[in-house]
Amino acid sequence: MTQLHRRYHITTFGCQMNKADSERMAGILDKMGLEHSDDPNCADIILYNTCTIRDNAEQKVYSYLGRQAKRKHEHPNLTLIVSGCVAQQEGEQLLRRVPELDLVMGPQHANRLEDLLTQVFDGNQVVATEPIHIIEDITKPRRDSAVTAWVNVIYGCNERCTYCVVPNVRGTEQSRTPEAIRAEMEMLGEEGYTEVTLLGQNIDAYGRDLPGVTAEGRHQHTLTDLLYFVHDVPGIERIRFATSHPRYFTERLIRACKELPKVCEHFHIPFQSGDNDVLKAMARGYTQQKYCRIIDKIRTYMPDASISADAIVGFPGETEEQFENTLKLVEEIGFDQLNTAAYSPRPGTPAALWENQLSEEVKRDRLQRLNHLVSIKAAERSERYLGRIEEVLVEDCNPKDPSQVMGRTQGNRLTFFAGDIEALKGKIVKVKITEARAFSLTGESLAMAAIGSSSKC
Ligand code: SAM
Ligand code: SF4
């Protein structure tokens, strides 16, 4: 490697999966002896880890990239990399659009960064987008948090939701072995991490590509089995998982979550639409009634469970009445949080070619109405915490008030309370909730709960 390449900067767009990929790529660059820089203008290597789920995410990448491509004319030793979903979608075309780029690499190639950069430093312009078997995570990631960590359990997605670009850019499902996942979690426990979120685009599909069938005819390795397998990892006190798919969500999984004390009673299960015809057009493979049955079942086992989801408004052909079915579902379920989006036509997806696209104005109006309802319902859900004692895992100080620390309840509500971050970081603290807002809480610390005594309320 040339001495000119010393500092690197990574900007990450998009989902938790991308954040986890960026942490692994940063780990590889650290191992190569490069220094991390928060400021892209001080870096010799700039990596944009990109998202293409909606058009605005993609356009943001081009605007960032344009600035750095100009800078490269004055600093020819600058190395420019685009990784992630835009890289996979555009491939070689990206080089035509931004010839200053040195490396274009799809998400499946994240663990190959050192090898690819070596080719770049040898003077090549490199495109790595061919489907490959993902190399096991052998590099120690540079994690953003010292308290909570992402652990990938399954890459890719085999679903074909008609709006979604993920299967095109992230490839088919590839599950990591339970042993590799447990080994990563054991390392995290030894390093002092308290919480792990297991990640997959469709995490309920975990293990269906791994060999082995049980005597009952089930896949030998399922998400439920994985939770039992990793549950006793020393030091890890909280386990979360995301994202769940209503089509594959099982009662066996719900029972495991109830039974295993470290598994947080928070479920992220996107429903996308509250209308059966829209769900059919989306090729989601379930009905609104099935979705409600899953939530009922979760609440039968765990009445206080937090439920979050994703929803899309303005899908092609969605009528006002169909949109109102989404509002009705939101009203009925009472989500703790809902990520909402206006439908964005994506290249290479079936729905993008349909003629019944809605105007931006209609989509914007529906999004506003949905968001309004979501905050009302989230505020109602938050009220149940008032006066309660919650266990909060302290992650950091409140950036707006340094006299306060912030962390999350077991149900994933962001919570602030007065405290000293030096003493509390990574600790689970009992907090009496005194204020409840739609998406956050404020409280007073009672006493520090001993780590390991975490219990579900
Ligand atoms: N696998 C998860 C599932 O099935 O729900 C979601 C993964 S996707 C990366 C995250 C969210 O982006 C989706 O739940 C969906 O709400 C949203 N999304 C995906 N494609 C979209 C599109 N074309 N327009 C608007 N939102 C979209
Ligand atoms: Fe996209 Fe559907 Fe796969 Fe989720 S399940 S990543 S929405 S194709």
Question: 157 in ligand 2 pocket by Cβ < 6 Å?
Answer: yes
> Which residue has the least CA distance to atom 5 on ligand 1?
270
> Which residue has the least CA distance to atom 1 on ligand 2?
164
Question: 110 in ligand 2 pocket by Cβ < 6 Å?
Answer: no
pLDDT attached to residue 455: 44
> Which residue has the least CA distance to atom 7 on ligand 1?
201
pLDDT attached to residue 438: 95
Q: Which two tokens stand for residue 153?
A: 């359990």
Flag whether pLDDT at 450 surpasses 90.
no
Q: Which two tokens stand for residue 436?
A: 């409840």
Of 202, 201, 206, the closest CA to residue 228 belongs to 206
Question: 310 in ligand 2 pocket by Cβ < 6 Å?
Answer: no
Confidence of residue 217 (pLDDT cuts 50, 70, 90): confident
Question: 159 in ligand 2 pocket by Cβ < 6 Å?
Answer: yes
Of 120, 44, 114, 96, the closest CA to residue 75 belongs to 44
Q: List CB contacts of 194: < 8 A, sequence separation 6 or more.
A: 147, 148, 235, 236, 237, 238, 393, 426, 428, 451
Task: Supply the angle between the helices 288-301 and 251-259 in degrees, to the nearest 10.
Answer: 20
- Measured in Å, residue 413 CA sits from the centre of ligand 1 at 22
Percent of the chain with pLDDT over 70: 96
- Measured in Å, residue 159 CA sits from the centre of ligand 2 at 6
Confidence of residue 3 (pLDDT cuts 50, 70, 90): very low
End-to-end CA distance of the chain: 54
User: Quick check: 139 and 262 in contact, CB under 8 A?
Assistant: no
> Is beta strand 195-199 parallel, antiparallel or unpaired with respect to 337-342?
unpaired
- Measured in Å, residue 53 CA sits from the centre of ligand 1 at 7
Query: CA–CA distance from 197 to each of 188, 224, 288, 412, 449 (Å)?
Result: 12, 14, 27, 12, 22
- Measured in Å, residue 306 CA sits from the centre of ligand 1 at 20
Q: Which two tokens stand for residue 339?
A: 């990520």
d(CA 35, CA 333): 48
Confidence of residue 456 (pLDDT cuts 50, 70, 90): very low
Flag whether pLDDT at 448 surpasses 90.
no
> Is beta strand 154-155 parallel, antiparallel or unpaired with respect to 174-175?
antiparallel
> Which residue has the least CA distance to atom 2 on ligand 2?
161
More confident residue, 4 or 174: 174
Q: Which of 16, 53, 291 to mutate to test the pocket of ligand 1 (most atoms within 8 A of CB)?
A: 53
pLDDT attached to residue 140: 86
Mean pLDDT of the chain: 94
Q: Which two tokens stand for residue 87?
A: 């890289």
The bound ligand whose nearest atom lies closest to the alpha carbon of 282 is: 2
> Which residue has the least CA distance to atom 11 on ligand 1?
310
Q: What is the pLDDT of residues 169-187, one digit of tens each?
A: 999 999 999 999 999 999 9
Only one residue has tokens 């990591």, namely: 176
Question: 349 in ligand 2 pocket by Cβ < 6 Å?
Answer: no
Q: What is the pLDDT of residues 268-301, one digit of tens each?
A: 999 999 999 999 999 999 999 999 999 999 999 9
Question: 245 in ligand 2 pocket by Cβ < 6 Å?
Answer: yes
Confidence of residue 435 (pLDDT cuts 50, 70, 90): very high
Q: Which of 160, 312, 343 to mutate to test the pocket of ligand 1 (most atoms within 8 A of CB)?
A: 312
Would you mind telling me the total number of residues written for the chain in this entry? 457
Flag whether pLDDT at 449 surpasses 50.
no
pLDDT attached to residue 58: 86
**Closest ligand 2 atom, residue 201 Cα:** 6
Question: 161 in ligand 2 pocket by Cβ < 6 Å?
Answer: yes
CB atoms within 10 A of CB 220: 13
Q: What is the pTM of this model?
A: 0.93
The bound ligand whose nearest atom lies closest to the alpha carbon of 173 is: 2
- Measured in Å, residue 380 CA sits from the centre of ligand 1 at 26
For residues 157-186, one letter each, b for 16 or more C-beta atoms within 10 angstroms of the residue's C-beta and e for the rest, the string is bebebbbbbbbbbbbebbbbebebbbbbbe
Q: Which of 13, 52, 164 to mutate to test the pocket of ligand 1 (most atoms within 8 A of CB)?
A: 164
Q: If you write DSSP's letter for every residue of 243-304 in order, what string do you get?
A: ---TTT--HHHHHHHHH-TTB-SEEE---B-S-HHHHHHHT----HHHHHHHHHHHHHH-TT
**Closest ligand 1 atom, residue 166 Cα:** 9
d(CA 38, CA 197): 25
Question: 43 in ligand 2 pocket by Cβ < 6 Å?
Answer: no
Query: How far is Cα of residue 81 from the mean position of the Cα atoms in its chain?
Result: 22
Flag whether pLDDT at 429 surpasses 90.
yes
Best-predicted range by mean pLDDT (46-55, 123-132, 255-264): 255-264
- Per the DSSP assignment, residues forming a β-bridge with 268 are 308
User: Quick check: 41 and 35 in contact, CB under 8 A?
Assistant: no
pLDDT attached to residue 4: 52
> Which residue has the least CA distance to atom 4 on ligand 1?
245
Percent of the chain with pLDDT over 90: 90
> Is beta strand 45-50 parallel, antiparallel or unpaired with respect to 79-84?
parallel
Question: 197 in ligand 1 pocket by Cβ < 6 Å?
Answer: no
Question: 244 in ligand 2 pocket by Cβ < 6 Å?
Answer: no
Q: What is the pLDDT of residues 356-406, one digit of tens each?
A: 999 999 999 999 999 999 999 999 999 999 999 999 999 999 999 999 999
Q: Which of 158, 164, 174 to mutate to test the pocket of ligand 2 (most atoms within 8 A of CB)?
A: 164
- Measured in Å, residue 197 CA sits from the centre of ligand 2 at 19
Flag whether pLDDT at 103 surpasses 60.
yes
Q: Which two tokens stand for residue 414?
A: 């962001």
Question: 148 in ligand 2 pocket by Cβ < 6 Å?
Answer: no
- Measured in Å, residue 26 CA sits from the centre of ligand 1 at 26
d(CA 365, CA 344): 15
Residue 16, judged by CB atoms within 10 A of its CB (0-12, 13-18, 19+), counts as middle
